[in-house]
C-alpha cells in the first residue's frame, strides 16, 4: 500500500509539472490585455513629421531641449510607472529594438541616445487614479560635427502589480505592461548608407544550429525594409548547405545585425564554406561573398548542444500529460476497488 501511494505521488508531481509548464507561455502572450495606462508624446515645434506620435526632431549641434510625455491612468486606483531611455539597435529577428538595452553596441556608434537624454526627476512616478501626469527628459546634442540620425526610445513600464502570496522555491510569473515612444534626432545632412558583411560563422540561436552572418550598418542613417537572399555552399563540392530569404529587415543607425540561418535537422560538418548574399531595398543593393571555415570542435559542440535532434515538441508534452492523467485515474480506480475488496474480505 505504501509503495502504491508513493507511485501515485510521483506521477502527480510529474504531471503537475507538465501542466504548469505548458500554460505559462500562453499567459505571457496575453500581456496586452487591460494595460490600464497609456502615454502620449508632447511634440515640440522642431518636430519634423507633425503627424508622428513619436519624437522626430530636427536638432543642431550643441542644442539642449526638454522632452515631455503625458502618462494617462485609466484605472480607478493609483499606479506606478517606471521609465528609461534606451538606444535603438537591430535585434536577431531583423527588427529595431527599443525596449531591451543592447549588451554591446557597434563600434561605429559615436553617440548613444541613452547617454545624451536623461530623465528629469525620479525614474518611477505615481500616476493618480483616472488622472494623468506629465514627465520630462532633457537632451543635449553633441558639440562636434555630426551628420545623420540618432535613434532610441523612451520606455514606460507599469510596476505596481503585486504578488499576493509567496511559495518557497517557486517562481511567480507576472505580466509586464509597457509602452515605448520612439526618439529620433536628425542633425546636418543624412549620409549615404554603408552596409558591410563583418563575419560568417557557425552559431547557436536559442539552442538551434545556425550559420550566422554578421552585418554592420556603419552609418548614422536607418536602412529600412531590406530583403536578403543568401546561399551557403560547401567550398569543395558546391553543394547547397542552406538557402534563406529574409524580408523586411530594419537596420538601425550604426548597428550590428547577427542574422541566423537555421539548419534545423541538418548537422554541422567541419570544412570550408562559401556565403553569397544579395541585400536590397528600394534604393540600394549590396552583394557579399565570403569564405569561412567550421572546425571539427565547433561542429561537435553545436551538434551536441542543439535541441534540433531531440524531436520533443509541445504536442509530445500534452500527450504525456494526458497519458499521465489517464494513469492516475486508473490507479485511483484500482485503489478504490482494492480497498473495497479488502473490507469485504475482513468482514
Please write the tens of the pLDDT for every residue from 267-322: 889 999 999 999 999 999 999 999 999 999 999 988 887 787 665 544 444 556 67
Residue 13 lies inside a defined structural domain of this protein: no
Contact 323, 14 (CB under 8 A): no
Q: What is the pLDDT of residue 25?
A: 28
Q: Please indicate, yes or no, whether residues 121 and 231 belong to a single structural domain of this protein.
A: no
Q: What is the pLDDT of residue 338?
A: 75
Q: At what angle do helices 2-28 and 314-346 cross, to 10 degrees?
A: 150
Residue 277 lies inside a defined structural domain of this protein: yes
Q: Please indicate, yes or no, whether residues 59 and 183 belong to a single structural domain of this protein.
A: yes
Domain housing 253: 195-305
CA–CA separation, 242 vs 208, rounded Å? 14
Q: Please indicate, yes or no, whether residues 181 and 206 belong to a single structural domain of this protein.
A: no
Q: Please indicate, yes or no, whether residues 208 and 288 belong to a single structural domain of this protein.
A: yes
CA–CA separation, 275 vs 211, rounded Å? 10
Contacts of 43 (CB under 8 A, 6+ apart): 50, 52, 55, 56
Q: Please indicate, yes or no, whether residues 271 and 134 belong to a single structural domain of this protein.
A: no
Instruction: Read off the C-alpha cell for 239.
Output: 553543394
Q: What is the pLDDT of residue 344?
A: 73
340 three-state secondary structure: helix
pLDDT band at residue 29 under the 50/70/90 scheme: very low
Contact 213, 244 (CB under 8 A): no
**Alpha carbon 127 to chain centroid, angstroms:** 28
Q: Please indicate, yes or no, whether residues 135 and 179 belong to a single structural domain of this protein.
A: yes
Q: Locate the DSSP E strands across 141-239.
A: 148-158, 177-187, 195-205, 208-217, 223-234
Q: Please indicate, yes or no, whether residues 41 and 149 belong to a single structural domain of this protein.
A: yes
CA–CA separation, 43 vs 51, rounded Å? 10
Q: Please indicate, yes or no, whether residues 178 and 210 belong to a single structural domain of this protein.
A: no
- What is the DSSP code (8-state) at residue 267? P
CATH number of the domain that 200 lies in?
A: 2.60.40.10
Question: Of 137, 152, 187, which residue constitutes the final position of a domain?
Answer: 187
Average pLDDT, the chain: 84
Q: What is the pLDDT of residue 283?
A: 92
CA–CA separation, 201 vs 214, rounded Å? 9
Contact 257, 251 (CB under 8 A): yes
State yes or no: pLDDT of 163 exceeds 50.
no
177 three-state secondary structure: strand
Residue 279 lies inside a defined structural domain of this protein: yes
Residue 28 lies inside a defined structural domain of this protein: no
Q: What is the pLDDT of residue 307?
A: 80
pTM of the shown model: 0.75
The closest of 124, 128, 138, 122 to 68, measured between CA atoms, is 138
Q: Please indicate, yes or no, whether residues 122 and 257 belong to a single structural domain of this protein.
A: no
Question: Of 289, 305, 321, which residue constitutes the final position of a domain?
Answer: 305
Contacts of 104 (CB under 8 A, 6+ apart): 256
Q: Please indicate, yes or no, whether residues 41 and 183 belong to a single structural domain of this protein.
A: yes
CA-to-CA separations, 135 to 22, 124, 126, 130, 153, in angstroms, rounded: 40, 10, 11, 17, 15
Q: Please indicate, yes or no, whether residues 245 and 179 belong to a single structural domain of this protein.
A: no
Q: How many domains does the chain have?
A: 2
Q: How does pLDDT run across 142-155, given as a tens digit for each residue?
A: 999 899 999 999 99
Residue 328 lies inside a defined structural domain of this protein: no
CA–CA separation, 317 vs 309, rounded Å? 16
Q: Please indicate, yes or no, whether residues 60 and 180 belong to a single structural domain of this protein.
A: yes
Amino acid at each position: 500500500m505504501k509503495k502504491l501511494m508513493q507511485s501515485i505521488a510521483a506521477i502527480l508531481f510529474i504531471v503537475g509539472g507538465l501542466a504548469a509548464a505548458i500554460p505559462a507561455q500562453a499567459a505571457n502572450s496575453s500581456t496586452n490585455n487591460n494595460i490600464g495606462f497609456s502615454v502620449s508624446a508632447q511634440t515640440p515645434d522642431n518636430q519634423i513629421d507633425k503627424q508622428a506620435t513619436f519624437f522626430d526632431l530636427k536638432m543642431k549641434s550643441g542644442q539642449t531641449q526638454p522632452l515631455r510625455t503625458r502618462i494617462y491612468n485609466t484605472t480607478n486606483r493609483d499606479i506606478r510607472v517606471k521609465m528609461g531611455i534606451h538606444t535603438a539597435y537591430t535585434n536577431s529577428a531583423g527588427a529595431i529594438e527599443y525596449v531591451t538595452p543592447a549588451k554591446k553596441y557597434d563600434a561605429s556608434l559615436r553617440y548613444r541616445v541613452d547617454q545624451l537624454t536623461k530623465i528629469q526627476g525620479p525614474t518611477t512616478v505615481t500616476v493618480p487614479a483616472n488622472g494623468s501626469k506629465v514627465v520630462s527628459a532633457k537632451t543635449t546634442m553633441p558639440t562636434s560635427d555630426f551628420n545623420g540620425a540618432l535613434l532610441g526610445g523612451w520606455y514606460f513600464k507599469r510596476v505596481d502589480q503585486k504578488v499576493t502570496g509567496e511559495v518557497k522555491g517557486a517562481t511567480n510569473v507576472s505580466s509586464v505592461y509597457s509602452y515605448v515612444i520612439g526618439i529620433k534626432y536628425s542633425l546636418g545632412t543624412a549620409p549615404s548608407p554603408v552596409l558591410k558583411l563583418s563575419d560568417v560563422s557557425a552559431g547557436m540561436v536559442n539552442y538551434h544550429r545556425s550559420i550566422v552572418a554578421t552585418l554592420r550598418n556603419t552609418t548614422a542613417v536607418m536602412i529600412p525594409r531590406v530583403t536578403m537572399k543568401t546561399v551557403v555552399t560547401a567550398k569543395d563540392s558546391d553543394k547547397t548547405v542552406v538557402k534563406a530569404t529574409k524580408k523586411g529587415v530594419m537596420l538601425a543607425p550604426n548597428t550590428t545585425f547577427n542574422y541566423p540561418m537555421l539548419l534545423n535537422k541538418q548537422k554541422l560538418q567541419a570544412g570550408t564554406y562559401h556565403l553569397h548574399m544579395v541585400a536590397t531595398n528600394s534604393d540600394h543593393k549590396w552583394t557579399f561573398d565570403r569564405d569561412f571555415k567550421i572546425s571539427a570542435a565547433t561542429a561537435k559542440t553545436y551538434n551536441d548542444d542543439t535541441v534540433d535532434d531531440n524531436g520533443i515538441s509541445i504536442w509530445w508534452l500534452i500527450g504525456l500529460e494526458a497519458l499521465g492523467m489517464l494513469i492516475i485515474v486508473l490507479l485511483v480506480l484500482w485503489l478504490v476497488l482494492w480497498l473495497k475488496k479488502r473490507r469485504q474480505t475482513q468482514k
